[in-house]
Chain A
């Protein structure tokens, strides 16, 4: 069986665990969630009670296994139930509206941070103890600042005080979302500061990790041999040292994706960015359990998908893995 297929099986198992945890959370919690929701929203019609019961499994219609079955069936058809706060909007519509915002902004910012951070790490690892190496403690401090705090300070500085960037939101008020330049330009302008905060806070991590692997790789015999052959420094750095150091970095990238997504959720809350993180906040503040759970699932699946992509990249970039693929 090919490696990628095996990994797919692993991700399906992971997805199943997430689905199952998600199914049992509201059922394992003490208290009646439906009554809590009904008390919080007097505007809900009594007919919503039954729907909520069925959705959260409080009223126990049928055995737990038949509930589980219909739950899995619903998820496969992207049927996440109806939203409580914006009743009767289906949760899936709300998700479809917010996901593109998060995907574009967080995706591009993460890739930029990874590429730039890895590049800086290569340089810092090669020139061990050099100028770039000395700014590392400062970068570590940047990394230790809670993300939202850093973002809020930048927001205050650049948006409220200096008026260089807009004060949050995804686009200027009064614009109608659509494929015209006014809107796209405004959306890009509004995404610059959030993207910058993600890049600045995550770059240090990539850089540090790459630097550390690079330092170890630079000491390897084949790198010294390449230097002894009189190869150009650039060739030694990129073709010999960095080429080998990048594999642990890629694995680290895959493992860190969950953290990246978590940071992005907070970013959206700080910038009132109309993505999935802000939706999660509204879900939490209004105890909108169906929405909360749907968002958790969507985020988890997105992370699993990104992991698959990284696995494919690892297979493509690691000759050992490719050779193993061929022999299997």
Chain B
């Protein structure tokens, strides 16, 4: 929240110095975020150029018996599968497909959560409660079994179907967080100022509110991508995917169904799993980095200062109290009383002690 205020000040006080700030930004990023960004960058690069530099056709089955389950060597850097396919080519093509799916799902689901979250917080009242109720219902229904039932009953299991279903179920978490943040920002002075100057609501939303939530939206995007990778790989591993397309998940499916581990063919099984793990780790690190950027207290002890022999954590950010609207209409209040947060609200009955 303070970051938002700072960038506001920067924008109004000295717009011309913004460009000077840019080069130092990378250096000031938390180390975790740097490691995450680099890790992710490598895989995105592999996803972009991978299919172009793949040495073989990933589906090509080399009939030579010597090339069945061959350990890594010069011509097949990651060895071959049981039917003589090149593991490296499968990996390079698979990374593209997995990342593509995850990023599309990330964009669609995050867009949905921004729309639902901001609308919900801005409209307030009954609409807010209905939308919150909806996202709470979808949060409490376990996603993977629902995904399996939805995709499993499709006759054709393509990439598009997976993207649609994953996006449709991936928005509630982000919507919840973004709604809370919008509620907090909505009552701040600069929004009131914008409203006083006669700005239209859509302008306030897209030029005042959303830019102040960029770090939150970024974190929500990263989380959604993480969810999409995990879910799509797990679904493919179970066999609920187009098994003829090469993704990291289908690679693992074929490796598992053809007993790669029992046959000792680690080069068939470890690369796709490790790739998913590293992409995931990159995303998690990036996310913690973003978190630390917004919440200085979570930063490493290196940023703490030492005063009289005591390590003190970095100074607290100026507390900004979330001003949840005190007044709720009758129907809205009734709906709200069914949510878990109603029990923990401080605002509703602050004076009942």
B315-346 near A? 1/0 per residue, CB < 8 Å: 01000000000000000000001111011101
Q: If A17-B141, A144-B281 touch, does A327 touch B155 (CB 8 Å cutoff)? A: no
Q: Which B residue sits closest to A27, measured CB to CB?
A: B153
Q: Is the CB of B234 within 8 A of A17?
A: no
Interface flag for A215 (CB, 8 Å) = yes
Across the interface, which residues of A come within 8 angstroms of B233, CB to CB? 146
Query: How many inter-chain contacts with C-beta < 8 Å in the A-B complex?
Result: 190
Asked if A269 and B349 make an inter-chain contact with CB atoms under 8 angstroms apart, the answer reads no
**Does A245 reach chain B (CB closer than 8 Å)?**
no
Contact B155 A30 (CB under 8 A): yes
Q: Does A13 contact B (CB under 8 A)?
A: yes
Does A7 touch B at the CB level, under 8 Å?
Answer: yes
Question: Count of chain B residues with Cβ under 8 Å from any Cβ of A?
Answer: 64
CB of B74 closer than 8 Å to a CB of A? no
Among B149, B155, B280, which residue has its beta carbon within 8 angstroms of that of A31?
B155
A149/B261 in contact, CB under 8 A: no
Which residues of chain B come closer than 8 Å to A160, judged between CB atoms?
Answer: 261-262
Known: A133-B301, A160-B262. A321 touches B136 (CB 8 A): no
Interface-lining segment among A85-93, A176-184, A286-294: A286-294
Q: Is the interface of B mostly helix, strand, loop or mixed?
A: helix
A141 contacts across to B, CB distance below 8 A: 277, 281, 284
Q: A215-B298, A327-B352 are in contact. Are A292 and B285 (CB under 8 A)?
A: no
Q: Across the interface, do A254 and B340 meet the contact criterion of CB distance under 8 Å?
A: yes
Interface-lining segment among B101-109, B203-211, B236-244: B236-244
| Interchain CA distance A247-B344 in the complex, whole Å | 10
**In the assembled complex, how far is the CB of residue A145 from the closest CB belonging to chain B, in whole angstroms?**
4
Complex Cα spacing A311 to B343, Å: 10
Residues of A154-205 whose CB lies within 8 A of B? 155-156, 160
Q: In residues 266-291 of chain A, which contact B (Cβ within 8 Å)?
A: 266, 269, 280-281, 283-285, 287, 289
Chain B residues within 8 Å of A123, by CB: none
Beta-carbon nearest neighbor of A269 in chain B: B238
Chain A 241-262, CB-CB to B under 8 Å as 1, else 0, gives 0000001000100110111011
Give the distance to chain A from B242, nearest Cβ to Cβ, in Å.
14
Q: Is the CB of A262 within 8 A of B145?
A: yes
Query: Do A258 and B140 have beta carbons less than 8 Å apart?
Result: yes
Q: Report Cα–Cα, A319/B252, bound state, in Å.
A: 49
Query: Smallest CB–CB gap between A103 and chain B, Å?
Result: 15
User: B341: shortest Cβ distance to chain A, in Å?
Assistant: 9
Residue A21 lies at the interface, judged by CB distance under 8 Å to chain B: yes
Q: Out of B148, B269, B316, which one reaches A152, CB within 8 Å?
A: B269
Counting CB contacts under 8 A, is B59 at the interface?
Answer: no
Kindly state the separation between the CA atoms of A284 and B269 in the bound complex, as whole angstroms: 23
Tell me whether A258 and B153 are in contact (CB under 8 A).
no
The interface residues of chain B lying within 8 Å CB-to-CB of A6 are 337-338, 342
A183 and B182 alpha carbons, distance in the complex (Å): 56
Main SS class of interface, A? helix
Q: With A6-B338, A160-B262 in contact, do A140 and B281 touch (Cβ < 8 Å)?
A: yes
Q: Which residues does chain A contribute within 8 Å of B316, judged by CB atoms?
A: 219
CB of B301 within 8 A of CB of A137, answer: no
Alpha-carbon separation in the docked complex, A327 to B353 (Å): 10
User: Are A140 and B301 in touch, CB under 8 angstroms?
Assistant: no
Stretch at the interface among A47-55, A59-67, A107-115, A298-306: A298-306
Q: Does A29 contact B (CB under 8 A)?
A: yes
Q: Is A235 an interface residue (CB 8 A)?
A: no
Residues of chain A within 8 A (CB-CB) of B285 are: 137, 140
Question: Complex formed: what's the CA distance from A123 to B154 in Å?
Answer: 48
| Shortest Cβ distance from residue A270 to the other chain B in the assembled complex, whole angstroms | 9
Q: Residue on B with the closest CB to A31? A: B155
Partner of A280, one of B148, B278, B304, B313: B148
Contact A296 B339 (CB under 8 A): no
Mask of B217-258 contacts with A, CB within 8 angstroms, 1/0: 000000000100010011001111000000000001000100
Let me know if B273 is at the binding interface, CB within 8 A: yes
* B311 pairs with A144, CB closer than 8 A: no
Q: Hey, which chain A residues are within 8 Å of B154, CB to CB?
A: 29-30
Contact partner of A14 among B141, B149, B226, B278, CB < 8 A?
B141
Residues of chain A within 8 A (CB-CB) of B313 are 128, 215, 219
Q: Contact check: which of B146, B269, B278, B349 meets A21 at CB < 8 Å? A: B146
User: CA A288 – CA B349 in complex, angstroms?
Assistant: 52
Contacts of B288 in A (CB 8 A): 140
B137 x A296 contact (CB < 8 A)? no
A296 touches B146 (CB 8 A): yes
Q: Is the pair B145, A265 in contact by a Cβ cutoff of 8 Å?
A: yes
Contact B149 A296 (CB under 8 A): yes
Confirm or deny: B142 has a beta carbon within 8 angstroms of a beta carbon on chain A. yes
B contact residues around A261 at 8 Å (CB):
142, 144-145
Given A140-B281, A144-B277, A262-B142; A324-B349 close (CB under 8 Å): yes
Contacts of A215 in B (CB 8 A): 297-298, 313
- Whole-angstrom distance between the alpha carbons of A18 and B311 in the complex? 51
Asked if residues A33 and B142 are in contact (CB atoms below 8 Å), the reply is: no
B234 in complex: contacting residue of A9, A143, A146, A314, CB < 8 Å: A146
Within 8 A of A (CB), among B121-157: 133, 136-137, 139-146, 148-150, 152-155
Q: Which residues of A contact B87 (CB under 8 A)?
A: none
Given contacts A144-B280, A145-B273, contact A219 B148 (CB under 8 A): no
A79 on interface, CB distance cutoff 8 Å? no
Of all A-B residue pairs in the complex, the 6 with the closest CB atoms, nearest first, are A129-B301, A144-B280, A262-B144, A149-B273, A258-B142, A145-B277
**CB-defined A-B contacts under 8 Å, sample of 24:** A3-B342, A7-B338, A25-B149, A29-B153, A29-B155, A30-B154, A30-B155, A141-B277, A144-B279, A145-B273, A152-B256, A152-B261, A160-B261, A160-B262, A212-B298, A219-B313, A262-B142, A265-B145, A266-B238, A280-B148, A292-B148, A314-B343, A320-B343, A324-B343
Given contacts A10-B339, A262-B234, A280-B148, 18 further A-B contacts (CB under 8 A): A10-B133, A133-B301, A140-B284, A141-B277, A147-B234, A160-B262, A212-B291, A216-B297, A261-B144, A266-B144, A266-B234, A269-B237, A269-B238, A284-B148, A285-B239, A303-B141, A315-B343, A327-B352
